[in-house]
Homo-oligomer: A and B are copies of this chain.
Amino acid sequence: MTYQLYYWDGIQGRGEFVRLALEEAGADYRDVARENGGVEKMMAFLEGRGGHMIPFAPPFLTDGSDVISHVANILHYLGPKLNLVPADETSHFFAHGLQLTITDFITEIHDTHHPLGTDDYYEDQKREAKIRAGRFLKSRLPKFLEYFESILAHNPTGPAHAIGGRLSYVDLSLFQVLEGLRYAFPNALKRHEPSYPNLLKLHAMVKERPNIRAYLSSRRRLAFNESGIFRHYPELDQDT
């Protein structure tokens, strides 16, 4: 069965967390909205012409007649099928909880450039974005990174992975978060990173996975840009 991923073309965005899992597993999938006529197919689902399981927003995944929406839900669905989460139910719910904390982290990263509302331009909220980004870098960024460093340090099987003794979709998402933060806030990250040695090791490990390495150097991996979640606005990359 071919998985059909639906997400906006032109950005990594939230869809990228799903792509990394599909790519690592070598899964058979189509990135529908990047194909000819694909955006129209995506809009049909969003407008209720694809059955009653209407997604609120991309990304969503279809698998046969099932429609699964929200990144964390998609990864929770794919995890056991792609062998990217330990087999027991306890681990499924623990992994999903970690992924939902990553979801919250990503929302806060996004909101550094959109504190007043997602429907308006960054240029119309630059003053407020600078305040919010400053507070984010000072307190929220360290809080989230310390949390995940601590999750790695507390793993009973060792600090190489978030859950259990081998790669999971949570590890892949943590890699992507660090990639994105380095792009968006290079100066801040240079100061913060040395405090999180386990996260840095995990990032380097994921980057060297053969399927991930092949994906990152392929045309399927888009570059970061200022339409996605992780945006590099030098004025927000402040010394706090």
Tell me if B90 and A66 are in contact (CB < 8 A).
yes
Which residues of B have CB within 8 Å of A156? 52
Roughly how many angstroms separate A53 CA and B100 CA in the complex, as a whole number?
14
Assess the A116–B119 pair: CB atoms within 8 A: no
Please name all residues of chain B whose beta carbon is closer than 8 Å to the beta carbon of A97 when the two chains form the complex. 53, 55-56, 60, 67-70, 73
The chain B residue sitting closest to A134, CB to CB, is: B117
- Chain B residues with Cβ below 8 Å from A155 are 52
Q: Which of B48, B68, B151 contacts A54 (CB 8 A)?
A: B151
A91, chain B: closest CB distance, angstroms:
9
CA distance A67 to B119 in the complex (A): 37
Does A121 lie at the interface of the complex (its beta carbon under 8 Å from any beta carbon of B)? no
A31 in the interface (beta carbon within 8 A): no
Asked whether A160 is an interface residue with its Cβ less than 8 Å from the other chain, the reply is no
CB of B154 within 8 A of CB of A48, answer yes
Contact A128 B150 (CB under 8 A): no
**Copies of this protein, total:** 2
Q: Which residues of B contact A56 (CB under 8 A)?
A: 97, 101, 104, 144, 147
A172 to B72, CA, bound (A): 22
Closest residue of B by beta carbon distance from A90: B66
Known: A73-B96, A97-B69, A100-B70. A132 touches B119 (CB 8 A): no
The answer to whether the Cβ of A111 comes within 8 Å of any Cβ in the partner chain is yes
Q: Are B147 and A132 within 8 A (Cβ)? A: no
B93, A73: Cβ atoms under 8 Å? yes
Cβ-closest chain B residue relative to A65: B90
Residues of A whose CB lies within 8 Å of any CB of B are 48, 52-56, 60, 65-70, 72-73, 76-77, 90, 93-94, 96-97, 100-101, 104, 107, 111, 115-120, 128, 131-132, 135-136, 139-140, 144, 147, 150-151, 154-156
Interchain Cβ contacts under 8 Å between A and B, 18 examples: A54-B150, A54-B151, A67-B94, A67-B97, A68-B97, A69-B101, A70-B97, A72-B100, A73-B100, A76-B93, A115-B115, A115-B116, A115-B132, A116-B128, A117-B135, A118-B140, A119-B135, A119-B139
